[in-house]
Amino acid sequence: MATEINVPTLGESVTEGTIGEWLKQPGDAVAVDEPICSLETDKVAIEVPSPVAGVIGELKAEVGDTVEVGAVIATVEAGAAPAAKGEEAGRAAEQRQENKEESKEAPASDASQTLSPAVRRAVLEHGIDPSTVKGTGKDGRLTKEDVIAAAKAKDDTPAPAKPEEAPAPTAAPTGTRNTERVKMTRLRQTIARRLKGAQENAALLTTFNDVDMTAVIEARTKYKELFAKKHDIKLGFMGFFAKAAHLALKDVPSVNAQIDGDEIVYHDYVDISVAVSAPNGLVVPVVRDVDKKGFAQIEKDIANFGKAARDGTLTMDDMAGGTFTISNGGVFGSLMSTPIINPPQSAVLGLHRIEDRPVVVDGEIVVRPMMYIALSYDHRLIDGREAVTALKVIKDAIEDPTRMLIDL
């Protein structure tokens, strides 16, 4: 008896997905809860498990097909996977046919049978197609003189005049030049649509500042072993920036708000979306209640999301909501960028690489580990003064982490 496999519930407001890859084919054995395919939605890629053990029967959708929640995409038959029948015979038949085709001899050209060695040499020397020349020899055969005459007539034929406006010919490309067309994944299509929508629907502007990372680096160096021993997690930079962002969002509420129609929605909590690189594109899981969490829990949440993104196990709930985003391009070596907001949010903080640069401190030039930070914001809601103020609060908190402890 066949068991149907349906598209599972994909999350709130998500009604369909796209078949990304079939992990099992008809005739393959499958165990209970073993994934049979990957399904791409607007936000995540999930694996669809088999509810029973058996053998894959029929696949009712192809890679790239859009399927709705509840739709039947495959069937599973009870029993073991059938042994492959006739494979050897099939391969043998294919080999016999291939050998037969290779053994066929191409028919010899009539022209090559009637050309004398001297005529063949003349044809090659002058680049003449013998089939285009009328022979004057016995039985209409070509002679050497026929080939020479044809070559002379060819040389005497004037080349067609080139129009004055025609461009000079360019050299033809050499070597292999291949192209490949790959359909965009559903996730990549959604990313493209949302980012383009952010540019079209928001009045985007970016303000910059630079941060002296000396204090944070010293704190990490001093406490990293004790922190890891007590909390079983490394002390990273993201915890510092998340807490610094909390201070900024509390001081400048509009940066933590969003526009909904003709209303502004303010949030009395801080849920920070953290941009994470996944195999299929950029995803933004949400660290919730940053305003209530300590460094250790924030670092654990971020680490868990990073692993889930790499493993492809992020859920829709992991990425739902979010009032503000932090994107760290510095891990890839970025010096400076203008990040794009994550709608319907109104602002995003961009972090970049840390590098030693000369700066002036107390009238003296010193070398300090510096980082450029950027705040992109929707100017419809956030004024320039507010954006600059929020970024300055983040800068001050990073350069003097004590501010985060005493809520200053």
Q: CATH number of the domain that 127 lies in? A: 4.10.320.10
pLDDT of amino acid 104: 42
- 340's tokens: 């794009």
Instruction: Give yes or no: residues 147 and 191 share one domain.
Output: no
Give yes or no: residues 203 and 146 share one domain: no
Give 8-26 as a DSSP string.
PP--TT--EEEEEEESS-T
Whether 311 is a known active-site residue: answer no
**pLDDT at residue 109, rounded to an integer:** 39
- Kindly state whether residues 287 and 353 are assigned to the same domain: yes
Strands 324-328 and 347-361: parallel
| Shared-domain flag, residues 265 and 385 | yes
Statement to judge: residues 283 and 201 lie in one domain: yes
pLDDT at residue number 372: 98
Q: Note the pLDDT of residue 81.
A: 52
Helix (H) / strand (E) containing 117:
helix 117-126
For tokens 């050897």, the residue is 88
199 and 305 share one domain: yes
Same domain? 252 vs 377: yes
Residue 383 annotated among the catalytic residues of the structure? yes
Residues 6+ apart with CB under 8 A from 1: 77, 78
Structural domain contains residue 19: yes
Residue in 151, 214, 226 with CA at minimum distance from that of residue 369: 214
| pTM across the whole model | 0.66
**Same structural domain for residues 291 and 399?**
yes
- Domain of 143, in residue numbers: 112-151
274 and 138 share a domain?
A: no
Catalytic residue, candidates 126, 231, 267, 379: 379
Which pLDDT belongs to residue 94? 53
Does 120 lie in the same domain as 17?
Answer: no
Residues of the chain below pLDDT 50: 83-93, 95-96, 99-101, 103-113
Same domain, yes or no, for 147 and 202? no
Last residue of a domain, one of 77, 104, 123: 77
Single out the residue of 69, 41, 17 nearest to residue 283, CA to CA.
41
Given 60, 77, 94, the domain boundary residue is 77
Query: Alpha-carbon distance 338 to 349, whole Å?
Result: 9
Q: What angle do CA 206, 211, 215 make, to 5 degrees?
A: 150
Phi then psi dihedrals of residue 388, to 5 deg: -65, -40
Q: Are residues 389 and 269 in the same domain?
A: yes
| Residue 215 pLDDT | 96
Q: How many whole angstroms separate alpha carbon 372 and alpha carbon 350?
A: 9
- Any domain includes 156: no
* Residue 172 within a domain: no
- Measure CA 393 to chain center: 34
- Tell me: the pLDDT tens digits for 199-241? 888 999 999 999 999 999 999 999 999 999 999 999 999 999 9
What pLDDT shows up at residue 240?
Answer: 96
Q: Which of 383, 396, 400, 407 is catalytic?
A: 383
Note the pLDDT of residue 107: 38
Omega before 344 cis (within 30°)?
yes
CATH of the domain at 398: 3.30.559.10
Q: Would you state the structure tokens that stand for residue 369, as one six-digit string?
A: 């580990």
Number of domains in the chain: 3
